[in-house]
């Protein structure tokens, strides 16, 4: 009799499912048949009145009943969810026949465009492009560039190291490419090294832990600071326009001496720093086995900095958020 009663209960359960219209009604049915005080709970209470043999047999039937009910409920939940998302998609995209393939084609990122423009300016006056790895040695990133061990740039708070003994790191500048190039090539050298660099900076309006640099190096007989000044003034006028003025002010970099920052005249007569430069320190040439009488100059510029100035972009994060509304402007 107990088995017959269970079959009737299951038949009643299936009938209830046929009339369910949404997930809320399904939850009610689930409580009626599986929850506390449910039909299943009531049937289980009958086990105590049965002998051991009947208890075992009916307990097995109750388990099968419970499993069948759970499986049916899960199936209905899946069907309801599927139907819900189909309707949601229809409401959001009523015309499913729309051709979603872009008619405009792909385009380059603003930073790629700026980087390529800068490289083209220097290529037009005889520079070639050199590349190097982003994971570097401390020697190439610091020691070869005359940066002493006590220099703050070498602190773990400033540099992203890759090992415990601080011998491997993510490069903080593309000057490492200059070191590698000089180790493999004799003068004369005229290169620009574009690429991604890393520093342990907090993200704010003008700083990011990942950004892009272009560094340049010129090594040849008789090169002077006047050559450096003329080269960078040419670059500024080509990139920002012939009306923009430049100003060089003294600065300090471990790998150049003398060193300077280059400022450009901007709106309302304001002077803004755009890059650093200087004559290559003799110790750098010594570290790459160049003659101590070698002369040359180097410079480095941030690609994001150039783009922000030219286009009036107020926050560096705009370059990395992939917001099409922003990227479509360039």
* Lowest pLDDT segment from 73-77, 204-208, 280-284: 73-77
**Model confidence at 214: pLDDT above 90:** yes
Q: What is the mean pLDDT of residues 69-79?
A: 80
User: What is the three-state SS of the chain?
Assistant: CHHHHHHHHHHHHHHHHHCCCCHHHHHHHHHHHHCCCCHHHHHHHHHHHCCHHHHHHHHHHHHHHHHHHHHHHHHHHHHHHHHHHHHHHHHHCCCCCCCCCCCCCCCCCHHHHHHHHHHHHHHCCCCEECCCCCEEEHHHHCHHHCCCCCCHHHCCCCCCECCCCCCEEECCCCHHHHHHHHHHCCCCEEEEEEEEEECCCCCCCCCCCEEEEEEEEEECCCCCHHHHHHHHHHHHHHHHCCCCCEEEEEEEECCEEEEEEEEEECHHHCEEEEEEEEEECHHHHHHCCCCCCCCEEEEEEEHHHHHHHHHCCCCHHHHCCCCHHHHCCC
Give the CATH architecture of domain 110-327: 2-Layer Sandwich (3.30)
More confident residue, 36 or 214: 214
Q: What is the mean pLDDT of residues 82-96?
A: 68
pLDDT digits (tens, 9 = 90+) for 254-290: 999 999 999 998 777 789 899 999 999 999 999 999 9
Q: Parse the chain into domains and list their residue ranges.
A: 2-92, 110-327
Structure confidence at residue 188 (pLDDT): 93
Structure confidence at residue 96 (pLDDT): 56
Q: What is the mean pLDDT of residues 62-75?
A: 79
pLDDT digits (tens, 9 = 90+) for 29-60: 777 777 677 777 777 777 677 777 777 777 77
Q: What is this structure's pTM?
A: 0.67
More confident residue, 286 or 314: 286
**Model confidence at 299: pLDDT above 70:** yes
Structure confidence at residue 255 (pLDDT): 95
pLDDT digits (tens, 9 = 90+) for 142-192: 999 999 999 989 998 899 999 999 999 999 999 999 999 999 999 999 999
């Amino acid at each position: 009799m107990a088995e017959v009663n269970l079959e009737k209960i299951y038949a009643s359960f299936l009938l209830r499912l046929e009339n369910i219209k949404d997930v809320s009604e399904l939850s009610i049915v689930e409580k009626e048949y599986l929850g506390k005080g449910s039909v299943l709970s009531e049937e289980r209470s009958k086990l105590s009145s049965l002998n051991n043999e009947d208890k075992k047999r009916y307990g097995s039937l109750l388990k099968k009943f419970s499993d069948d009910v759970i499986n049916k409920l899960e199936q209905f939940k899946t069907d309801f969810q599927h139907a819900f998302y189909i309707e949601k998609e229809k409401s959001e995209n009523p015309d499913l026949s729309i051709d979603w393939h872009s008619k405009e084609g792909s385009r380059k990122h603003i930073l790629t465009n700026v980087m390529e423009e800068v490289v083209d300016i220097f290529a037009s006056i005889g520079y070639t492009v050199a590349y190097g790895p982003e994971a570097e040695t401390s020697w190439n990133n610091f020691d070869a560039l005359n940066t002493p061990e006590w220099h703050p740039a070498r602190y773990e708070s400033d540099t992203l190291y890759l090992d415990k003994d601080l011998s491997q790191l993510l490069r903080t500048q593309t000057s490492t490419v200059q070191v590698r190039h000089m180790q493999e090539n004799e003068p004369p050298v005229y290169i620009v090294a574009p690429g991604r660099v890393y520093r342990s900076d907090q993200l704010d309006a003008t700083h990011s832990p990942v950004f892009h640099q272009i560094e340049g190096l010129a090594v040849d007989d008789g090169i002077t600071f006047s050559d450096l000044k003329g080269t960078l003034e040419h670059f500024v006028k080509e990139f920002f326009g012939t009306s923009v003025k430049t100003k060089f002010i003294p600065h300090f970099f471990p790998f150049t001496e003398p060193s300077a920052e280059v400022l450009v005249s901007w709106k309302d007569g304001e002077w803004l720093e755009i890059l650093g430069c200087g004559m290559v320190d003799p110790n750098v040439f010594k570290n790459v086995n160049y003659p101590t009488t070698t002369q040359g100059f180097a410079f480095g510029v941030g690609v994001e900095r150039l783009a922000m100035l030219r286009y009036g972009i107020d926050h560096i994060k705009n370059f990395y958020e992939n917001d099409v509304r922003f990227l479509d402007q360039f």
